[in-house]
Amino acid sequence: MELMKRKESWNIGYDHALGETASYFFAQVRDNAQIYGRLDPKSGRVLVPPRAFSDQTLEPTTDWMKVGPGGRIEAFTIVYEEFKTLPDPPYAFGYVLLDGADTAIGGFFRGIDLKNPAQAAKRLALGTRVITKFAEERKGSVLDFWFELEGDGGKSGSNAEAVVGYE
Amino acid sequence: MKAPRVGIIGIGQSEFKPRRDDANYPELVREGVTLALNDAKLELKDMQAVVYSLAPDALLGIGNAERLGVDAVGARNKRFMRINTGGATGISSVITGWTHIAAGECDVVLVAGADKVGESGDSQTILNKIWDPTYERALPLGTITMLAMSAVRAMHKYGLTEEDMARVTVKNRLNASKNPKAHLRKVVSMEEVLASRYISWPIKLLDACPQSSGGAAMVLASEKYIKDNKLDAVWISGVGHCSESYYMGDRMGNKIMADHADAHALGRSFERSYKMAGITDPAKQVHLAELYAPFSNTEYHSIEATGVCKLGASMALMREGHFDLGGRIPINPSGGTLCTNAIAVSALVRAAEVALQVWGRAGEHQVKGAKIGIASGNGGDHQFFGTMVIES
Amino acid sequence: MNAGTKIGIAGVAIHAPQRSDTRSLEESIYAVTWAALRDAEFGIEDIEGIVVAGNDELDGRAISIMMASGSVGGVDRDILSTPSAAEHAFVLGALRIASGQFATQLVVAWSPLEVDSINDALKIGTDPYWHRALPQDELATHGLQAGVLEHAVPGVREAAAAIVRKNRLHGAMAYPDRPLGPVEDAFIASGKPTRWPLTDTMVAPPAFGLVAMVLADGDTIAKRKCGNVAWIRGMGWATEPGFIGDRDLSTLPSLDAAREQAYAAAGVTNASSFDVAEVADGTPYQELLAYEGLGICARDAWSKQVASGTYARGGKLPVNLSGGALSFNPVFCAGLVRIAEAANQVRGRAGSHQVRNAKRAVAHAASGPAMHYNTVVVMEGGRS
């Protein structure tokens, strides 16, 4: 007897409203190559990426605050495995605490030689200073910017990472 | 008003495998149910309510797949609801079953589910879709990368090493080799783990859980029903949940409420369970723990969240064998999620394994003299946590 | 539930945002959460636990509780999700209080319109083994049920059309600011078939909606001196089997089971003891099945009773004074809206569609293909 299988795939598209807060953030990234956070007055934390309210206090956030372009690495990982619809490995990404922010924002790390994991991990160690780089042509997405090690002097674009754009 | 005591009277779990081409999804659910009913010596008609354990629909490829499971769990015309708290679903489901009985709604509840994680093809791609499309989905986030970052922070904060991580895999595989239900049962050495290829630094292939297929179920009953029918049971003495901010970046930076290196909300959830169970000193009072830890590094912050040792202290204790099967407080004597991960029921299995232990029915992986055990489940991006205390 | 258990609904918010582009879904959920808290005069710190319900495929998130958790105060709290049905979140919220583990619960559900095609999204709920290759989306299953009912009950279509008109008239009065479907007989009758025998005028288009409720135990309500409380007197819920072909679509044994549970707990022996009802009406045929299942009206009297206005405003038992899902159809959470609307009636908070002296109400929610899940809640107003 044959054991059968059926191939199915989900093809559903969505139009997610970003709301005013996120829209402002992305417009600033796109038009001014500037990253903003929002102040949560109750805790005093500047939330990056910004949100209309703090999920800790459930109060609305208030002021827009410019953050970056410098920052420090709070977490990273280097991916060596291939996953469907994700970039070709190896690539490094993680979270950066931008200057002026109290929470970290995610992004790719570029310009680092990733061939030797232990060495790459040392270079990306927590606390390492990074600088935000922006793409020449920006769409208003988190892929419009990435982070490079401070003092690396523009090593981006190395063939160690091939970042696939998302829609 | 004192809530009725709730006992576990039946447990069933499949022998978990990488694929189950011989059974479709509802059939896999039925498999777990049949095993649990046989264990309880009851029939479907005796079940008064069903709590259905099912995590993301996307892993099965069927929207609201619990509807297809209605007959597998014998729920026609019965009370029926489905729970989804991501990876914590299984334990949240057992706790919801507890709630039904504690509320005085009914006397016998069936909690059941199954998963076929391997059937979806690429679970990390699907799990990337749990992140919000506003800011983070464009990044290659997945559960592996997310928890790799937790490891990186723990390395920085506590000096966690890759050897520490490998030690967990070695322990759990050894335990799983004694557990016929586990998926990955092959014993491995430290060298093998350290030599396995990197998936997402520092997590290597052998630091990661498998994609498992199988079903699991439990039958819960009220104390009255258990007494009236002279049944054998173990008891749920404490339950709780807690959750963290969805934003991983908020678990980093300044004025952190919960560090991504730790499992703060898991600790809070255990506090709630302990309070209900009257446990004041877990290090002394708890005999074993089945902690949801799909990656080797996460077993450490889970252990610390139980309160049996301080933050950052679990690595040294692990080195001393404190958490081995024969150790002071065995952690994951079943092999844990690291060796078997059928996501929709993994956390249910944690509770089931603790129940088996305090019942003295854990066979070759039995913890001697176990009377009080704890279980945990994690869900979302390390966001939702459920915990239980189970005693004989 | 445990004898002596008293659970009241102390706050309700039902949102029907006209635009869905000004706020993100998270922000909309945050707004309805706060609206319910303010209605109950609670702060988020008064909430001990939360149950939410969303549909992953409609939301476009693989685990919808993740995104919603922050909005509903989930951080550092005990939060669960029941994606099977929005009304299950209510049921679980009530059980969690009845268990004694919590004194209060917040229940929130939503149904967005961000997916390209709701029908395609919901069609993913059809099993891939036998039926997904067929055009069996949820609306089609409602059509199948309507067709079976037309065969079983002669003259039912007229009653169905009358129910559409009744509910739309109710909706026009209750929420004049919301868009409305056809109200005139001629317009309803001349609709184009969409899933025969359903016409496009017989159902409301999917709408963006959110609903939140605050539940609390008797002690909390007494201590806080909450006014406007709907007490849960009885609750029942049950399910049909998963395959349409396994069912007789002209009957709803799961509704019978849910009704029995709820009525037994509430001590209801006769549906005439209700002052008002909110029942499932994704299609008018659903409302008819609800009449029968709730003991309101057996099928041999449907035509007569509907024609004589028994269930219209001013009638003996007004049903769906809110306008029902035939007026406002937030697909996934429409069932929880029924419970919320019925609660508001006995709370005296139903605004322009308030029934005078509404003391006891029954709410019926049905979700899924051809009323797969059925939930019944009996509520009463008053001090306790």
Locate the domains of chain C by residue range: 7-117+206-224
pLDDT at A152: 64
Q: Are B373 and B287 in contact (CB under 8 A)?
A: yes
Q: Answer whether the bond into residue B210 is a cis peptide, omega within 30°.
A: no
pLDDT at A157: 44
Q: Which of A55, A75, A107 lies nearest to residue B153, judging by beta carbons?
A: A75
CB contact under 8 A, C77 and B242: yes
Range of the domain at B216: 6-121+211-228
Instruction: Report percent pLDDT > 90 for chain A.
Output: 75
Q: Is B126's pLDDT higher than 80?
A: no
Average pLDDT over residues C315-319: 97
CB contact under 8 A, A15 and C117: no
Q: Are B29 and B73 in contact (CB under 8 A)?
A: yes
Q: Is C317's pLDDT higher than 90?
A: yes
Residue B44 in any domain: the answer is: yes
Q: Among residues 259-298 of chain C, which lie with CB inside 8 Å of chain B? A: 261
Q: What is the distance between the terminal CA atoms of chain C, rounded to a whole angstrom?
A: 17
Q: What's the CA gap between B119 and A9, in Å, rounded?
A: 12
The two structure tokens encoding residue B382: 């390390």
Q: Among residues 143-172 of chain B, which lie with CB inside 8 Å of chain A? A: 144-145, 148-150, 152-153, 156
Average the pLDDT over each of A76-90, B104-118, B362-376, C136-150 and give the range with the smallest value: A76-90
Apex CA C95: angle with CA C93 and CA C99, to 5°? 120
CB contact under 8 A, A10 and C71: no
Q: Is B260's pLDDT higher than 90?
A: yes
Q: Best mutation site among B6, B48, B77 for testing chain C: the one with the most C CBs within 10 Å?
A: B77
Residue B348 in any domain: the answer is: no
Nearest-Cα residue of chain B relative to residue A99: B253
Report yes or no: C244 at the B interface, CB cutoff 8 Å: no
* Nearest C-alpha neighbor of A95 from the set B248, B138, B137: B248
* Size of the A and C interface in Cβ pairs below 8 Å: 66
Q: Are C364 and C277 in contact (CB under 8 A)?
A: yes
Q: What is the distance between the terminal CA atoms of chain B, rounded to a whole angstrom?
A: 24
Number of domains in chain A: 1
Apex CA C52: angle with CA C48 and CA C57, to 5°? 160
pLDDT at A154: 46
Q: Is A161's pLDDT higher than 80?
A: no
* Helix (H) / strand (E) containing C311: none
Nearest-Cα residue of chain B relative to residue A79: B200
Number of domains in chain B: 1
Place of tokens 């994606």: C83
Confidence band for A162, pLDDT divided at 50, 70 and 90: very low
Residue A29 in any domain: the answer is: yes
Q: Are A50 and A42 in contact (CB under 8 A)?
A: no
Q: Mind listing the pLDDT tens digit for each residue in B174-208?
A: 999 999 999 999 999 999 999 999 999 999 999 99
Q: Is C267's pLDDT higher than 50?
A: yes
Q: Among residues 75-114 of chain C, which lie with CB inside 8 Å of chain B? A: 75-85, 88, 91-92, 94-96, 98-101
Give contacts of B384 with chain C, Cβ < 8 Å.
65-66, 69, 79
Residue B75 in any domain: the answer is: yes
Q: Are C366 and C373 in contact (CB under 8 A)?
A: yes
Apex CA A17: angle with CA A15 and CA A22, to 5°? 130
Q: Mind listing the pLDDT tens digit for each residue in C118-140?
A: 888 888 888 887 888 888 889 99
* Nearest C-alpha neighbor of C96 from the set B110, B270, B102: B102
- Look at strands A45-47 and A35-40 and give their pairing: antiparallel
Q: Is B125's pLDDT higher than 80?
A: no
Please report, for residues C29, C34, C341, the alpha-carbon distance to residue A60 in angstroms, rounded to integers and kept in the order given: 13, 11, 29
Count CB atoms within 10 A of the CB of residue B312: 17
DSSP conformation letters of chain A:
-PPP---------B----HHHHHHHHHHHHHH--EEEEEETTTTEEESS--SB-TTT-PBP--EEEE-SEEEEEEEEEE-S--TTSPBSPEEEEEEEETT-SS-EEEEEES---SSHHHHHHHT-TT-EEEEEE-SS--SSGGGEEEEETTS-S-TT-TT-BPPP--
Q: Is C212's pLDDT higher than 70?
A: yes
Average pLDDT, chain C: 95
Residue B131 in any domain: the answer is: no
CATH of the domain at B117: 3.40.47.10
Q: Is C289's pLDDT higher than 60?
A: yes
Q: Which of A3, A80, A143 lies nearest to residue B197, judging by beta carbons?
A: A80
Q: Are B209 and B228 in contact (CB under 8 A)?
A: no
Instruction: Report percent pLDDT > 70 for chain B.
Output: 98
Q: Where are the beta strands (DSSP E) in chain B?
A: 6-13, 49-53, 79-83, 108-116, 198-200, 203-204, 213-222, 234-243, 288-290, 372-379, 384-391
CB contact under 8 A, A52 and C27: yes
* A155 vs B307, more confident: B307
Q: What's the CA gap between B146 and B87, in Å, rounded?
A: 14
Q: Provide the Cα torsion B184, B190, B192, B193; round to 10°.
A: 60
Q: Are C261 and C237 in contact (CB under 8 A)?
A: yes
Q: Which of C75, C100, C241 lies nearest to residue B70, judging by beta carbons?
A: C241
Q: Mind listing the pLDDT tens digit for each residue in C160-206?
A: 999 999 999 999 999 999 988 899 888 888 899 999 999 999 999 99
How far B219 CA lies from chain C's nearest CA (Å)? 18
The two structure tokens encoding residue C360: 């006891």
Neighbours of chain A (3+ CB pairs under 8 A): B, C
Q: Mind listing the pLDDT tens digit for each residue in B146-181?
A: 999 999 999 999 999 999 999 999 999 999 999 999
CB contact under 8 A, A21 and C27: yes
Confidence band for A163, pLDDT divided at 50, 70 and 90: very low
Average pLDDT over residues A51-75: 96
Q: Which of A11, A13, A19 lies nearest to residue C23, judging by beta carbons?
A: A19
Q: Mind listing the pLDDT tens digit for each residue in B59-113?
A: 778 889 999 999 999 999 999 999 999 999 999 999 999 999 999 999 999 999 9
CB contact under 8 A, A106 and B141: yes
Cross-sheet strand order for the sheet of A64-67: A45-47, A35-40, A64-67
The two structure tokens encoding residue A9: 């795939």
How far C311 CA lies from chain B's nearest CA (Å)? 27
* C8 vs C65, more confident: C8
The two structure tokens encoding residue C138: 């949820």
How far B23 CA lies from chain A's nearest CA (Å)? 10
Average the pLDDT over each of A50-54, A71-75, B58-62, C101-105 and give the range with the smallest value: B58-62
How far B94 CA lies from chain A's nearest CA (Å)? 27
Neighbours of chain C (3+ CB pairs under 8 A): A, B
CB contact under 8 A, A75 and B255: no
Backbone phi and psi for residue B163, each to the nearest 5 degrees, phi listed first = -65, -40
Q: Which of A6, A17, A55 lies nearest to residue C128, judging by beta carbons?
A: A6
Average the pLDDT over each of A36-50, A126-140, A150-164, B293-307 and give the range with the smallest value: A150-164
pLDDT at A135: 97
Give contacts of A20 with chain C, Cβ < 8 Å.
22-23
Report yes or no: C357 at the B interface, CB cutoff 8 Å: no
Identify the three-state secondary structure at position C277: strand
CB contact under 8 A, C79 and B245: no
Please report, for residues C123, C137, C196, the alpha-carbon distance to residue C140 in angstroms, rounded to integers and kept in the order given: 10, 5, 8
pLDDT at A91: 95
Place of tokens 């008891």: B235
Fold adopted by C7-117+206-224: Peroxisomal Thiolase; Chain A, domain 1 (3.40.47)
Amino acid present at B312:
G
Q: Is A155's pLDDT higher than 60?
A: no
Please report, for residues A70, B321, C24, C25, C289, the alpha-carbon distance to residue B135 in angstroms, rounded to integers and kept in the order given: 20, 43, 12, 14, 45
Q: Among residues 95-124 of chain C, which lie with CB inside 8 Å of chain A? A: 114-117, 120-121, 124
Q: Are C285 and C245 in contact (CB under 8 A)?
A: no
Residue B17 in any domain: the answer is: yes
Give contacts of B208 with chain A, Cβ < 8 Å.
none
- Look at strands A70-79 and A91-98 and give their pairing: antiparallel
Q: Which of B24, B62, B134 lies nearest to residue C24, judging by beta carbons?
A: B134
User: Helix C284-293 and helix C138-152: axis angle, to 10°?
Assistant: 60
Confidence band for A4, pLDDT divided at 50, 70 and 90: confident
CA dihedral sign, ordered C368, C369, C372, C377: positive
Q: Are C44 and C74 in contact (CB under 8 A)?
A: no
* Helix (H) / strand (E) containing C78: strand C78-81
Q: Mind listing the pLDDT tens digit for each residue in C225-264?
A: 999 999 999 999 999 999 999 999 999 999 999 999 999 9
